[in-house]
Amino acid sequence: MKVGVIGTGYVGLVTGACLSTIGHTVVCMDNNTAKVEGLRQGVMPIYEPGLDELVAAAVAAGRLQFTTGMAETVQDSDVVFITVGTPSRADGSPDLSAVRAVARSIGSHLDGRFRVIVNKSTVPVGSGNWVRMLVEDGANLVAATARSGQHAGNGLAVLAPAAPPNFSVASNPEFLREGSAVWDTFNPDRIVIGAEDARAVEVMRRLYAHWVSPADTDTQAVPMVVTDLASAEMIKYAANAFLATKISFINEIANICERVGADVTRIAEAIGLDKRIGRSFLNAGAGWGGSCFPKDVSALVSTAAEYGYNCELLKATLSVNEHQRQLVIEKLQRELRILKGRTVALWGLAFKPHTDDIRCAPALAVAEHLLNLGCRVVAHDPVVTAAQVQGQLPDLQVAGSALEAVQGADALLVMTEWPEYGGIDPQTVAAVLRQPIVIDARNCLDTQAVQGAGLRYVGVGR
């Protein structure tokens, strides 16, 4: 099938690369010329394991192209994905200006051939109808311009579309995680399609046949959940809100554990063995960050408020998460007493390992707080660069190696559980730290090895 993908952020690029890998012909469009130019030369705008190889192979096979042209993207495609950003505004509601502009523009390029316009950006519940309206507006505008042009006898006026726009809107939320986005796309737990009509469902079933009805009879078919538009949109929010709540739950349990002398890692292990609970997303720590959980939980709370519902549980999910960062500072304060004038080594800036994404990263929030309290903060991250944090935190120093960051520091604070930090010999850390204090805000270091090196170990909930 021919697929157009509008917006080459995380979701768009990964979706385009994976769909072309399974045999579709994909055009990825972005209005950022430099980004498109880079992609044409194999430069990925994001750090995502496996993505560059996938893109290179699909481009070489002639199944993936990058463009800045909206007209060719829409006109050549059977399915057009909207995968533009929906960042949070100050009040927590999502900024939908990019979706609005793209939907209108798609409408202005439609003709009589049937297309499915798929919303993959995370938009508030009810947006499917709104996207339909915008696409129609875009199409009507072209028709009206053409009519008025003809009426005025203006030879330069655009041509009227040959037939009324023929499209259906679908919602196809993604559940991919940064750092394992390619793996997640190839190994989905389910494919969710919200559709207006059976025509769209049929097209989407063909698009995802590789997973939904695999040709290889030994391969397990992935369940496809077909719903109305609003339910599909709600599934995405509910999934993220549930996972965020699960983490805030275990963080709250961790805080109780610290008071009663229990170990939250053992609690997570034991309750996780209950199939109704499950072990994943039960790692206590400095709380969740990233581009999805903070934005989506806040957006759900704000949508509910618009409809007159007060989300008490989700508000608690947000406030436990906020508090979790504060607790890291309190732990440091307990160990060092006065923070002003101290040097803190901070390992890990990304919001989680295997990504260079620092959006809503707990590490940056904690670093900012420490800088405001008069600390010198020397950070290290295996992939986040000094240039990335410069604009946000100009006073944050970024060291070239994990050990360099620790040199002469009053305490080591681990904020992201990059596997390589666990591989650093605590003896070498102990040899260069000014004071023997390690705050492991991700419970990722070997407690006994750290203590064995004569360091004081402070974890979360243990």
For the annotated catalytic residues, the residue numbers are 292
In angstroms, give the least distance from the CB of 293 to ligand UDX. Answer: 5
Task: State yes or no: 177 annotated in a binding site.
Answer: yes
Residues in CB range of 151: below 8 A, 6 or more apart:
none
Q: Please select the residue that binds ligand UDX; options are 124, 128, 194, 289, rule is CB under 6 A.
A: 289
Task: State yes or no: 331 annotated in a binding site.
Answer: no
Q: Please select the residue that binds ligand UDX; options are 2, 205, 281, 388, rule is CB under 6 A.
A: 281
- How many angstroms separate the CA atoms of 219 and 343, rounded? 54
Pairing assessment for the beta strands 167-171 and 191-195 based on DSSP bridges: antiparallel
CA dist 227 to 194, 376, 412, 451, Å? Answer: 5, 53, 49, 53
| H or E stretch covering 332 | helix 312-336
Residue nearer to ligand UDX on the CB measure, 104 or 352: 352
Distance of CA 306 to the CA centre of its chain: 25
Beta bridge partners of 397: 378
Site for ligand UDX in 138-177 (CB under 6 A): 174-177
CA dist 172 to 15, 75, 80, 382, Å? Answer: 11, 21, 12, 34
Considering only the stretches 47-55, 83-91, 189-197, 278-286, report the one whose residues sit in contact with ligand UDX under the rule CB under 6 A. Answer: 278-286
CA dist 72 to 105, 129, 139, 143, Å? Answer: 12, 25, 16, 19
Residue nearer to ligand UDX on the CB measure, 186 or 281: 281
283 scored as a contact of ligand UDX (CB under 6 A): yes
> Residue 94 gets which letter from DSSP?
B
Task: State yes or no: 285 annotated in a binding site.
Answer: yes
DSSP 119-135: E-S---TTHHHHHHHHH
Task: State yes or no: 283 annotated in a binding site.
Answer: yes
Q: Please select the residue that binds ligand UDX; options are 243, 345, 379, 389, rule is CB under 6 A.
A: 243
Torsional sign, CA 46, 172, 297, 277: negative
Q: Please select the residue that binds ligand UDX; options are 16, 290, 436, 461, rule is CB under 6 A.
A: 290
55 scored as a contact of ligand UDX (CB under 6 A): no
- How many angstroms separate the CA atoms of 462 and 441, rounded? 11
293 scored as a contact of ligand UDX (CB under 6 A): yes
Burial 429-458 (b: 16+ CB within 10 A, else e): bbeebeebbbbbbbbbbeeeebeebebebb
Task: State yes or no: 184 annotated in a binding site.
Answer: no
Task: State yes or no: 403 annotated in a binding site.
Answer: no
Site for ligand UDX in 223-242 (CB under 6 A): 240
Site for ligand UDX in 403-422 (CB under 6 A): none
Residue nearer to ligand UDX on the CB measure, 130 or 281: 281
Residue nearer to ligand UDX on the CB measure, 74 or 366: 366
- How many angstroms separate the CA atoms of 240 and 244, rounded? 6
> Residue 30 gets which letter from DSSP?
-
Site for ligand UDX in 174-213 (CB under 6 A): 174-178
Task: State yes or no: 242 annotated in a binding site.
Answer: no
453 scored as a contact of ligand UDX (CB under 6 A): no
Q: Please select the residue that binds ligand UDX; options are 81, 351, 421, 457, rule is CB under 6 A.
A: 351
Residues that bind ligand UDX (CB under 6 A): 174-178, 240, 243, 247, 281-283, 285, 288-290, 292-293, 351-352
Known binding-site positions: 30, 35, 86, 122, 175-178, 236, 281-285, 289, 295, 352, 359
Known binding-site positions for NAD(+): 30, 35, 86, 122, 178, 295, 359
Known binding-site positions for substrate: 175-178, 236, 281-285, 289, 352
